[in-house]
Amino acid sequence: MYVPKESQPKQGGAAAKGRDGEKGGKRKIVAQNKKARHDYAIIDTYEAGLVLTGTEVKSLREGRTSLSDGFVQIDRGEAWLHNAHIPEYHQGSWTNHSARRKRKLLLHREEIDKLEAKSQETGHTIVPLALYFKDGRAKAEIALARGKKEYDKRQTLREQQDRRESDRAIAAARRRQRGD
């Protein structure tokens, strides 16, 4: 049967790009800072754009980066990501970047002001949680966090272990019920 071209579904648009109908697209995670979630109690998270050079983007696309020592600092009304290790691009020439340079974060003015005010409080800091690509643009997930004490870390680990054990017990009981 012949179907006119106008009534055929188009190949472009939101469905072709993998969007779920919501604003934004799929996230391709490049690096995560699991140590931050262990060492800090996360209060609030933000998504920030990153100002990068060409070789940094190419190196990120290869997936070789580390956020374990990274932190965010507000300086003269601008947010900067420090100590994030993005290694030099192996095919880069003299235009290559330095691996641990500070990188500017793109946030709204209200977000920067709020982060600056909260980070001035005792025990609060801003840490990077993840680097990822969203719709082809490099983004950083940063969080306002409060440092955990050693006993808080042990308590969190204990809770996770208890939750895992209870989930295993529930799954085993369900398997036994289906088997009968």
pLDDT tens by residue, 37-81 = 878 888 888 998 888 877 778 778 877 787 878 888 888 888 888
What contacts 139, CB < 8 A, 6 or more positions away?
A: 27, 47, 48, 49, 50, 131, 132, 133
Please say if the pLDDT value at position 3 is more than 60.
no
What contacts 177, CB < 8 A, 6 or more positions away?
A: none
Average pLDDT of 129-141? 87
- Report residue 20's pLDDT band, with 50, 70 and 90 as the boundaries: very low
Lowest-pLDDT range, 5-19, 21-35, 42-56, 60-74? Answer: 5-19
CA distance 180 to 175: 9
Partners of residue 70 on adjacent β-strands = none
Tokens 């680990």, residue located: 157
User: Where would I find the H helices in the chain?
Assistant: 13-16, 34-39, 54-61, 109-119, 150-179
pLDDT value for 91:
66
CA distance 157 to 177: 31
Average pLDDT of 155-168? 90
Question: Which DSSP symbol is given to 7?
Answer: G
CA distance 50 to 47: 10
pTM of the model: 0.64
CA distance 142 to 145: 9
pLDDT value for 18:
42
pLDDT value for 96:
62
Highest mean pLDDT among 52-66, 84-98, 115-129: 115-129
Highest mean pLDDT among 26-35, 139-148, 167-176: 167-176
